[in-house]
Chain A
Amino acid sequence: MAESAQSAMGGDERIKEISPLRRALIRPELGGMVGTVAVFTFFLLFAFDSGMFNAQGVMNWSIVSAQFMIIAVGACLLMIAGEFDLSVGSMIGFAGMMIAIFSVTLSWPVWMAIIVTFALCIFIGAVNGYIVVRTGLPSFIVTLAFLFILRGFTIYLPQTIERKTIIGGIRDVAEGDWLAAVFGGKVGQGLFVWLGDAGIIETFERGTRAGQPVVDGIPMLIIWALAIILFGHILLTKTKFGNWIFAAGGDAEAARNSGVPVNRVKILMFMFTAFCATVFATCQVMEFGSAGADRGLLKEFEAIIAVVIGGALLTGGYGSVLGAALGALIFGVVQQGLFFAGVESSLFRVFLGVILLGAVILNTYIRRIITGER
């Protein structure tokens, strides 16, 4: 078999040998890889002494990046399937508020509050998807409507029930809850104690925690981010369903003609995006111990930007989960890095706009290379 493949390759004199550079260019992750190297080089040069690269600093930007990664993977798979979800940010606020209302106001066990919230949010994701595939309307409009609907409820419900827009006290009720620990706990404490004792990372020198390492474990948020990236990457590139995701976004009609259940694929991706938003919200609520009505504002755009920096096409059918994860990493490192480097934080938005524009132009160019249009 290898021989026949070889002879088939050697055949046509009209096909030009493509250079390794061009071959690398058509990998969707390229932009993300180059950006990651550039960003790290920049901050290693200009912010090395600021504490950005000691244990605490690394943990700081890792957590921020992991947050972006969780929602970026959902947005990435959905974008490859040819749709957008603008309601991600509102979904984060809504999910957090639901957990707070169920567990604090209604005094449900926290594990039950989390499970019911997940079910509710994934159901809303499915409704989003169902409306999009049934009506054939652009997902942009349908999910924009849900952006407002969910945000409205997120503000209305706590105001009506508790007469305030922030519900606290979740940390107390979540104490000892098994499922809360899956989202708000930390792992690897022993390792960090050992690292602290060995003098590899700093330890507290004074106070009640003297002798303990400054970083006492890896938050579950980061574990969730890595797990979701791994799941998304394998689903997209190594399974039958992944092929359907590409097909649904590349050309829904052609995919349908070939027997791909396009509607099911799209609805499931809307549900997965909602799942990711809820994971984000649950981790955040467990970390802060409270839910606020303004949580998750603008997150939908940040997720989409991370995905685009990661090489996915806005029109669907092309992209990479690893690229989106790198896009999220760039996002987190720059946002926190500018703070460490002492740069005015409003400049972060300028940077964001510039890098988004650059990424979109690069992606369009790459698409031309792949499809051979000139």
Chain B
Amino acid sequence: MTEDTKFHHGDAQEQAPIIRMVDIQKHFGSVIALAGVSFDLRPGECHCLLGDNGAGKSTFIKTMSGVHKPTAGEIFFEDKPMHFEDPRDAIAAGIATVHQHLAMIPLMSVSRNFFMGNEPTKKVAGINFFDKKLADEITMEEMRKMGINLRGPDQAVGTLSGGERQTVAIARAVHFGAKILILDEPTSALGVRQTSNVLATIDKVRSQGVGVVFISHNVRHALAVGDRFTVLNRGQTLGTAKRGEISPEELQDLMAGGQELAELEGSLGGTV
């Protein structure tokens, strides 16, 4: 019933990247936020961007989603050089960002939230009316696919858990044709159960051929779903590793720069 029932299975590693960002630099006045970061994303893969606070993760994804323009470096979107003037350009191209907050309105129903800003309309007597029946049907269907059981499409988003809200936001982005989904710390405020729900959602979205950029500073969450891992530290790429090539400990060391954590390791007993 929707276009989303077409799946694009296939080995992610063989396909050409949807987006390729080469040697991106971003300076804010005298502050060098990004000092040459390279990154690419293929359809159907989950590429984790890891880094400690202040590593430049946020600046980098804002560059990708059109909020910032890079000071130097190039962005290729589907192999064509791309210059996003503002976030609208990026959204139009199919780059959707799901923020941890500011995505859902608790007082509104799930279906009204799902179609907020993209309401389907139906012409009756020459006037465009909001096609609520269609919106309700699509919402129920999409939520069912993501494994969320709603009482009804009129259920308010406020009654959903944090993880379910993330899932609704992700499902919405995918339904409206996102090719790249940027998830900015989607799991950082969630409990164990809810985190696993969100990670399962990422897995479902990836299997539909959407490229996922997963930003986190939690190594275990990243390792649970990631296909590739890029670590940022002090505005630079410390390298990209494929799944299975790197251990949690190595990843953790890369993120923190190694030194300080080694001393803490003993008392904390493993990964943080």
Interface residues of A, Cβ cutoff 8 Å to B? 1, 4-5, 7-12, 15, 18, 26, 238-240, 242-244, 246-247, 250-251, 253-255, 257-260, 313, 317-318, 367, 370-373
Contacts and interface: CB of A to CB of B under 8 A. Distances in A.
Contacts of B91: 259
B102 interface: yes
Contacts of B137: 1, 5
Nearest to B127: A239
A5 B140 contact: yes
- Lowest 8 CB-CB distances: which A-B pairs, in order? A371-B158, A11-B149, A259-B117, A250-B105, A372-B159, A12-B149, A258-B117, A240-B119
Interface stretch (B107-115, B220-228, B245-253): B107-115
Nearest to A371: B158
B148 to A, nearest CB: 8
A259 B143 CA distance: 22
Given A246-B105, A255-B105, A259-B118, A8 B130 contact: no
Given A9-B149, A243-B112, A4 B105 contact: no
B116 A8 contact: no
A11 B151 CA distance: 9
B205 interface: no
Interface in B117-162: 117-119, 121, 128-130, 132, 136-137, 140-141, 143-144, 149-152, 156, 158-160
Given A240-B119, A246-B105, A15 B151 contact: yes
A243 B149 contact: no
Contacts of B116: 243-244, 247, 254-255, 258, 260
Contact of B144 (A4, A243, A259, A367): A4
A259 B92 CA distance: 11
Contacts of B140: 4-5, 8
A250 B113 CA distance: 11
A253 B141 CA distance: 27
A253 B103 CA distance: 8
A18 B151 contact: yes
Contacts of B159: 370-372
Given A5-B140, A372-B156, 12 more contacts: A1-B141, A7-B144, A11-B149, A238-B132, A239-B129, A243-B116, A250-B105, A251-B102, A255-B105, A370-B158, A372-B158, A372-B159
Interface of B: 1, 91, 99, 102-108, 112, 115-119, 121, 128-130, 132, 136-137, 140-141, 143-144, 149-152, 156, 158-160
A260 B130 contact: no
A354 to B, nearest CB: 27
Given A255-B117, A257-B102, A370 B107 contact: yes
Contact of A243 (B102, B107, B130): B130
Contacts of A253: 102
A254 B105 contact: yes
A277 B150 CA distance: 42
B156 A240 contact: no
B23 to A, nearest CB: 30
A359 to B, nearest CB: 17
Given A257-B99, A259-B117, A371-B156, A242 B107 contact: no
A243 B119 contact: yes
B122 to A, nearest CB: 10
Nearest to A253: B102
Nearest to A6: B140
A254 B103 CA distance: 5
Contacts of A371: 106-107, 156, 158-159
Contacts of B108: 246-247, 250, 317
A317 B107 contact: yes
A367 B158 CA distance: 10
Nearest to A261: B117
Counting chain B CB atoms within 10 Å of each CB, the highest count among A259, A313, A370, A373 belongs to A370
B144 to A, nearest CB: 4
Contacts of B158: 370-373
A250 B106 contact: yes
Contact of A247 (B102, B105, B136, B160): B105
Contact of A1 (B1, B104, B119, B149): B1
Contacts of A254: 102-105, 116
B99 A242 contact: no
Nearest to B136: A5
